[in-house]
Amino acid sequence: MDLSEINPVLLVASLMVAATPLLLAAIGELVVEKAGVLNLGVEGMMIVGAISGFAISVETGSPWLGFIAAAIGGAVLSLLFVLLTQFALANQVASGLALTLFGLGFSALMGQSYVGVKPPSMGEIHIPIISDIPVIGPVLFQHDPILYLGIALTAAVWAVLKYTRVGLILRAVGENHDAAHALGYKVIKIRIMAILFGGACAGLGGAYISLIRVPQWTEGMTAGVGWIALALVVFASWKPWRALLGAYLFGGITVLQLNLQAAGVAIPVEYLAMSPYIITILVLVILSADKSSAPASLGRIFHASH
C-alpha cells in the first residue's frame, strides 16, 4: 500500500469530474420535485442520455451534438413519464420504476454496436494564465465545458427559483396544486415543463459519464448514479447549492475509494466499491429527520375536475 501515490491535486480535479453527472441529474430532479412531481426514472433517463449522446457523438464526431442529443434523449423518455403521470394519472412511483426498467433495456438494445468504440474527445477549456496557476489551475480551470455548465445550471436554477415569477409559480404548484389551480395557473403544463427539464438534465448527466468520465459505452454503466441523485435531492433539502455541495461530497467519496483501490489498500475492493451506496444510506438517515422542506404536494396526483 502506498498512499503517497495519491496526488491531492489530481484527486480534487477528478472529484469535480465524478460529481458532475450527479449534479446535473440532481439539479434536474430538484426542479421536478419542486413542481410537486416525484420522478423515480432518473436512472433510466440517464442511461438513455448516455447512449444517445454516445451514439450521436460517435456518428457525427462532435461531442457537442452528442450532448444535445443526450438532453433530447432524456427529455423524450421523460415524455413517457408525462403521458403516464400527467395524462393517464398513473401512480408516480410505479411510473418512475417503469421508466428506469424500460430505459435500461432500451439503452442496452441501442448500444449493442457501440461496445468498445471510443468516442471523440471534448477537450478542456484552457484559459491562458488562469489555467496555468499551480494547484488552483489544474483543480478549477482545466476542465471540460459541461462541468462548468453544471455549475452554471445550479446557479441559474437557484436564481430562478428564488427571485423570479416563474420560480414562484413553480414552487406554488409544488406546494399546493389545488390552490395554484384556483389561482389560474396551468398546473399540468408547468409540471410537464419541469419534467422535461429534469429529463434533459438527467440525459446530460448520463452522457457526461459515457463521453467524458469513462469514456466508453457499457450496458448499465450509470450503476445507480441516478438513484444517488435522487437521494441527493433529499440530502440537499431541495436547495440547489446544497445539491452542489452534496454532489461534490459524493464525487469525493467515489474518487477516493477508486484511488484507494488503485493504491492497493488492505480493504478488499468489494467493500470499497460498496462504500458510496452505504454512505448514501447513512446520509439519508441523518437528514431524514427534517422533512419540513419537502414540497407539500410531492408525488400527489392532480386532476382538475374536483
Partner 1 sequence: MLEKRPQPSKAWSYATPLVAVLATMLFGGVLFAILGKNPIEAIGTIFWDPLFGEFSFYYRPQLLVKGAPLVLIAIGLSLGFRAGIWNIGAEGQYIMGAIFGAGAGLAFYPLDAWYIFPIMVIAGAFGGWIWATIPAFLKVRFGTNEILVSLMLVYVAEQMLASVSLGLLKNPEGFGFPGSRNFQSYDSGHNAELIAGSGMHWGVVAAFIAVIFAYVLLNRHILGFHIRLTGEAPRAAKFAGVNPARLILFCLGLSGALAGLAGMFEVSGPSGVVSIDFNVGYGFTAIIVAFLGRLHPVGILLAGGLMALTYIGGEIAQSQLGLPAAAIQVFQGMLLFFLLAFDLLTNYRIRAARSEVA
| Stretch in the footprint of partner 1 (CB under 8 A) among 2-10, 16-24, 136-144, 267-275 | 267-275
How many C-beta atoms surround the C-beta of residue 241 within 10 A? 12
Shortest reach from residue 278's CB to partner 1, in Å: 6
Sequential DSSP letters for 117-132: PPPPP------TTGGG
Nearer to partner 1, 102 or 185 (CB): 102
- For partner 1, what does the binding mask look like between residues 108 and 147, x meaning CB under 8 A? xx--x-----------------------------------
Q: Note whether 18 binds partner 1 by CB under 8 A.
A: no
Residue of 9, 83, 135, 159 interacting with partner 1 (CB under 8 A): 83
Q: Note whether 288 binds partner 1 by CB under 8 A.
A: yes
The count of chain residues that interact with partner 1, using the rule CB under 8 A, is 48
296 close to 238: Cβ distance less than 8 angstroms: no
Q: Note whether 258 binds partner 1 by CB under 8 A.
A: no
49 close to 207: Cβ distance less than 8 angstroms: yes
Q: Note whether 204 binds partner 1 by CB under 8 A.
A: no
Q: Note whether 281 binds partner 1 by CB under 8 A.
A: yes
Largest CA distance in the chain: 66
| Stretch in the footprint of partner 1 (CB under 8 A) among 65-73, 189-197, 258-266, 285-293 | 285-293
66 close to 207: Cβ distance less than 8 angstroms: yes
Shortest reach from residue 50's CB to partner 1, in Å: 14
Q: Is the dihedral of CA 250, 253, 259, 264 positive or negative?
A: negative
Residue 257 makes CB contacts below 8 A (sequence gap 6+) with: 272, 273, 275, 276
List, in sequence order, the alpha helices (H) in the chain. 8-34, 42-60, 63-82, 92-110, 136-140, 145-163, 165-175, 177-182, 187-208, 225-235, 240-263, 269-287
Q: Note whether 102 binds partner 1 by CB under 8 A.
A: yes
Q: What residue ranges bind partner 1 (CB under 8 A)? A: 40, 80, 83-84, 87-91, 93-95, 97-98, 101-106, 108-109, 112, 219, 223-224, 227-228, 230-231, 234, 268, 270-271, 273-274, 277-278, 280-281, 284-285, 288-289, 291, 303, 305-306
